[in-house]
Amino acid sequence: MKELEKKVNRIRPQRLVVLALTQEGVEKEMGIDELIETNSEFIRVLQGNDLSDVDALLRYEVPDCVIE
C-alpha cells in the first residue's frame, strides 16, 4: 500500500509556482491563487505541471481567452 501511495504521489500534478512582480515592485515566488489575490504581474513559471493552474493563469492574464 505504501508503494502504491508513493507512485500516486509521483504522478499527481504539482501546483504551479510562479515568479511574479507584486504591487510593491518586489519579485516574489508564489502560487497562482496568491498571484490573483494580490493582483501581481506574472513573470514566468518556476515549477509545477497542474493544468488547472495553467487554466487559471490564462484566465487571469488573458481574460478574453476562451478555454474549452
C-alpha cell at 16: 504551479
Task: List the alpha helices (DSSP H) in the chain.
Answer: 2-11, 32-37, 51-61
Using one digit for the tens of pLDDT, what is the confidence trace for 5-63? 888 888 889 999 999 999 999 999 999 999 999 999 999 999 999 999 999 999 999 98
Q: Contact, 45 vs 20, CB < 8 A? A: no
Report the C-alpha gap between 25 and 15 in whole angstroms.
Answer: 24
Cα–Cα nearest to 19, from 9, 27, 7: 27
Report the C-alpha gap between 60 and 51 in whole angstroms.
Answer: 14
Amino acid at 51: L
In this prediction the pTM is: 0.80
